Structure 1
């Protein structure tokens, strides 16, 4: 690889997955590398093919940066051989010249680099030949992480050197920028004082005024505007704002894990956030268009923002506040116009847009979309979320989609309905009301609560769920009717007897009836005599299952050498207890 070498740690991080259970992994670098790759490819296509429209540019970009394409580049350079995708196992480590006392013969039956679809092949099992099993996406993610690693240390120059080595030939030449500027914008004439007013709001004076005019021109004016609109610049600006915000979040929140960094990026780089920017700085007033409905839609959106009583608007949580896409598009197109006007100087664009985008979301201020927040709370707390969507609901403001969400607590079923133009909007509407219900019952700590209160609430959350709720209010009803209807007669329930099967069977049964998930508590049991494996202890698991409007069942399974087998024993015992109570009929499935 004829590129400069940088700190080895970044490369180590770029080839390490979460499965290694290290203090670092490739996910953060992969997120950054994804933005860098998207930006470089977008610049290349935008300048290299000036006659391509936005749809063609997007399609060409996808062909280059898709996971399938990156997987191919990675395999071609045998990157999979360097990826660390499993935790270090001391039992499998051997010093040179030693033989393992616990041999694992190879039963993989695979000699090629591509896994066969033969069901007899033992995929995922380690063997003495050192075969490793890896998802194709892991390889494509590693390619992006390596790009991100070189960008962190050497900037775009180093990142583009890696791209060239990979075979992604997307170099951006200086002469292409000059050719584009001379060929596409010199004939554009500004209209009235629009250009000067927008420049004053941006705090930037364009060298090529026509670029700004193009960035403000809606496609509805394309025929009368000599065939140009903001769509191409929007394609470029989308990638520009993506890399600027991603690298800012990456460098500003170094201790933030990859999941939260992804959420920060999603909250910052989205059309709704850019639409708010367009309204806040009144950029929408300068949009050039000939659409009849567009002014009405924009005015309705602006009025809804001005009438909002919240301190910080979260458009993702309220379908009624979802802005027209054109508002976010014009912000992206302006970013693309500035980039071209300054000959791809990202620092100039960031200097202009950073104050416009402020305040940029931080981990302390991060708010997840309501449906996502509700789903994560249910998963963490051991509850299942029921979802039902109905199309074609007639309303005075047009046809809507109705979403019904319900959460079965230990004694009460919470139900909320929401409407919206799409399923996403309808579920967000219903989820926001359900979250408020859970907050009123003390099951969710308000966002303005102290960290100590949140920690205490997390510890006591299952205790709080044992409280008998008062008379159901709107959106709440007794769970008895739904549960009783589900249990008119025992259901046949298949249970795999292999490892993990009893736990999965019990979990799916609870999910089907929307019972709270079972709770396992494993305890170490000291043995009077050592086991054959040399251990002086085993594990026993106690399981608790709360049946709504009924009692709590608590059982303890047999002792086993590992926790998972002990949990399977307890889960199987619980399944047979439910069978005795007439809830189900266990059908054991034993695989050969």
Structure 2
């Protein structure tokens, strides 16, 4: 654009812009580099960012709140106790019990007051952390607690008693003391509130089980049905009350069972329930099938149930409901008691705990990241921890929230903030250079580099939680040790290992964090985060210096155009003229074209529409819904249709060739429904100039109104009506097609594209097990439209064929 620009900024503080080589801020007044950026420098920066040698293996962080070395020399250890309250939102014959969480450091009050739901097979369970009290435990008590939780979680995780025995032996010998590892206490809560302790110590002392032990909690049992009050087990003679509500192991099957009581009407001489042609007793069954002779066949049988399998209760979709396992009848003499007393409710509750603790660990990671970012923040910025967690959670976690909506919002603001910064800083640069510089800043390689420099990959959650791989606190077997600690602004964070994180994922998280700060803290908070991560921008208005010698009213109908723009009145009508002038217009009276305003307006319009949709439809069920709604609203076809509907094409200053292209679009428009402006539904080509004009007008209003985005939205949105809604949003054929092929396990071959006489032919094929099963060819005016049409009709063909 051949517009003269003054040699110095008119007013305001020294402006900070990005130097692409290093992504570091430069003081423009001190550096003296207000002239145009050297295109070679921009190109070199692109190559540098694109080839930055990042290690695929990134650290995986553990919050410091869950890490403490355990030392047996401590006579007394202080624990901050929290009650993990679980509320079942459904009826069940197995209620859940509360769990006591003991930490060596206090939890943030915001996390303590946070509720969340887990999806189980019959409904949901609401979880809440409630501060209880502080207790001092002796080293022996801590050892007893660790022994209990290692036993119960080892049983739930791998059901291997041999591995458990080895771990407990090392624990008793005091190995690995003083080593930093994930270390906290998870204990059963006392159900009787009048007792002085919130911990159910009777249950904690159930490990190891000793048949000869008669503790203060042990009570004598009166014989049911004239049967003895003791039972003969693999452990020896045991009082009946100690067998009920216990966890037992049957060596002849290698299985573990919860015992919930005695079967009052069954013993070894009772007939088995009909399972075959011949009736036989339990004693006969064991002799014939197992070669086991029941010696105490008069004993009542135990009522048992298979132990619970660990599941990921954080998944967004409801667990497939499985039939509950039927109760089993067990002869006591075949059972070895592992833990007693242990109720089925306690065991069920502990099977849910890994999912709860994984969510807590994720919240603490998000809190650590938030504190790391805000450590030196002088602004009054308040960001909910749950929003930061949303921003670092990818779709791969398969939870009921992920970063996609925040990423879409953050992407639009990043583009907007960067575009206005470049526009006002490089006022004498052509649009091509501005676009190139913007791409260097907002590109995935650039964002990934910034994110890695700020250690963000270690906080990212990119894998679905596997409870079988959950680290049992205090269990020092395997690879549970933390390799090193990493200081962040005098804060410690720990590394448990390394994992692969894609560069694109790191870039997505940077954008999502921008969205998180923007959606809850406003633009000041978003700018703060961008500056923190290394993108130095501000929203200070700087006048757009131009020297037009022409009177706009002589070339365009200013009043008519202002009426089309919701009666916006231009302070400087020459901006309106510039916004309607195509580069092909070679009139000497007009020194410039719309390209720079289009560059700016494209970003402003993208942001204000995305922000509007995000706030209006916050309750959308799918995080990806905002992405689809933005794509349906912010696209060239949508803008072009809107321009034709408003008659803006009549006011464009362009060459004959460009005008002919526009006329073709207007003729095509007559064959389309005027009720919708959504570009996805069209199957024809539209001149890009028409879309550019909508964006350049938005840029002109933005500059003329001194960077007032609300005025831009108020002026342009009427042209785009009806705006998309969840009910009217057309299908995203690209997304639907890819999801469909993924579901059917189809493989899409590389499209074959050819162009002849201005007509594009696009052929797409799908393979299943190496065989081409579907093929479709579309022929239209350009490649983009050809792709859209091919996906739409091919998808329809796929569905029809599948239905047949």
The answer to whether TM tops 0.5 is yes
**Distance in structure 2 (CA, Å) of the matches to 1:151 and 1:309:** 37
* Conserved? CA contact 2:390–2:403, under 8 Å: yes
Shift of the 151–386 alpha-carbon distance from structure 1 to 2, 3 Å rule, reads: closer
Report how far residue 409 of structure 1 moved. 10
Report how far residue 385 of structure 1 moved. 5.4
Equivalent in 695, 709, 727 of residue 332 of structure 1:
695
* Other-structure match for 2:704: 341
Of Structure 1 and Structure 2, which has the larger fraction of its residues in helix? 1
Q: How does 1:292-371 map to 2 (within 5 A)?
A: 292-308=656-672, 312=676, 315-316=679-680, 319=683, 321-368=684-731, 370=733
* Conserved? CA contact 1:389–1:423, under 8 Å: no
- 2:785 pairs with 1:425: yes
**Distance in structure 2 (CA, Å) of the matches to 1:93 and 1:373:** 35
* Other-structure match for 2:321: none
**Distance in structure 2 (CA, Å) of the matches to 1:133 and 1:387:** 27
Shift of the 173–260 alpha-carbon distance from structure 1 to 2, 3 Å rule, reads: closer
Secondary structure class of the residue paired with 1:155: helix
**Distance in structure 1 (CA, Å) of the matches to 2:495 and 2:700:** 58
* Other-structure match for 2:421: 44
Of Structure 1 and Structure 2, which has the larger fraction of its residues in strand? 2
**Distance in structure 2 (CA, Å) of the matches to 1:72 and 1:409:** 38
Shift of the 419–111 alpha-carbon distance from structure 1 to 2, 3 Å rule, reads: farther
Report how far residue 145 of structure 1 moved. 1.3
Secondary structure class of the residue paired with 2:552: coil
- 2:407 pairs with 1:30: yes
* Conserved? CA contact 1:185–1:208, under 8 Å: no
Secondary structure class of the residue paired with 1:149: helix
Report how far residue 197 of structure 1 moved. 1.0
**Distance in structure 2 (CA, Å) of the matches to 1:219 and 1:373:** 38
Shift of the 436–73 alpha-carbon distance from structure 1 to 2, 3 Å rule, reads: closer
Shift of the 415–72 alpha-carbon distance from structure 1 to 2, 3 Å rule, reads: closer
* Other-structure match for 2:396: 19
Shift of the 212–378 alpha-carbon distance from structure 1 to 2, 3 Å rule, reads: same
Q: Please say which of residues 420-429 and 151-160 is displaced more in the overlay.
A: 420-429
* Conserved? CA contact 1:315–1:322, under 8 Å: no
Q: How does 1:92-241 map to 2 (within 5 A)?
A: 92-94=469-471, 98-103=474-479, 129-174=496-541, 176-177=542-543, 180=544, 183-184=545-546, 187-192=549-554, 194-202=557-565, 203-221=567-585, 224-241=588-605
Deviations along 1:164-207, whole A, 9 cap, x unmatched?
22222222333x23xx2xx2156452133511110011121111
* Other-structure match for 1:400: 759
- 2:609 pairs with 1:245: yes
**Distance in structure 1 (CA, Å) of the matches to 2:404 and 2:650:** 40
* Other-structure match for 1:81: 458
Q: Please say which of residues 229-238 and 261-270 is displaced more in the overlay.
A: 261-270
**Distance in structure 1 (CA, Å) of the matches to 2:772 and 2:528:** 60
TM-score, normalization: structure 1?
Answer: 0.63
Shift of the 347–84 alpha-carbon distance from structure 1 to 2, 3 Å rule, reads: same
Equivalent in 254, 279, 300 of residue 644 of structure 2:
279
Q: Please say which of residues 419-428 and 50-59 is displaced more in the overlay.
A: 419-428
**Distance in structure 2 (CA, Å) of the matches to 1:224 and 1:330:** 21
Report how far residue 78 of structure 1 moved. 1.9
Superposed CA RMSD in Å reads 3.4
* Conserved? CA contact 1:190–1:210, under 8 Å: yes
**Distance in structure 1 (CA, Å) of the matches to 2:434 and 2:795:** 41
**Distance in structure 1 (CA, Å) of the matches to 2:753 and 2:440:** 36
**Distance in structure 1 (CA, Å) of the matches to 2:693 and 2:792:** 30
* Other-structure match for 1:63: 440
Secondary structure class of the residue paired with 1:219: coil
Shift of the 304–29 alpha-carbon distance from structure 1 to 2, 3 Å rule, reads: same
Shift of the 388–347 alpha-carbon distance from structure 1 to 2, 3 Å rule, reads: closer
Q: Give 1 or 2 for the bigger CA radius of gyration.
A: 2
Deviations along 1:450-493, whole A, 9 cap, x unmatched?
xxxxxxxxxxx6xx43xxxxxxxxxxxxxxxxxxxxxxxxxxxx
**Distance in structure 1 (CA, Å) of the matches to 2:752 and 2:783:** 7
Deviations along 1:320-368, whole A, 9 cap, x unmatched?
x211111000110000111111111111111222222111222332224
Q: Which has the higher contact order (CA 8 A, sep 6+)?
A: 2
Q: How does 1:468-479 map to 2 (within 5 A)?
A: none
Q: Please say which of residues 370-379 and 59-68 is displaced more in the overlay.
A: 370-379
Shift of the 438–30 alpha-carbon distance from structure 1 to 2, 3 Å rule, reads: closer
Report how far residue 6 of structure 1 moved. 2.3
User: Any gaps of 5 or more consecutive residues in structure 2?
Assistant: 1-375, 487-493
Deviations along 1:226-285, whole A, 9 cap, x unmatched?
431110000000001110111122122222423332222112111111101100111111
Shift of the 304–50 alpha-carbon distance from structure 1 to 2, 3 Å rule, reads: same
User: Any gaps of 5 or more consecutive residues in structure 1?
Assistant: 113-126, 444-460, 466-592
Shift of the 67–286 alpha-carbon distance from structure 1 to 2, 3 Å rule, reads: same
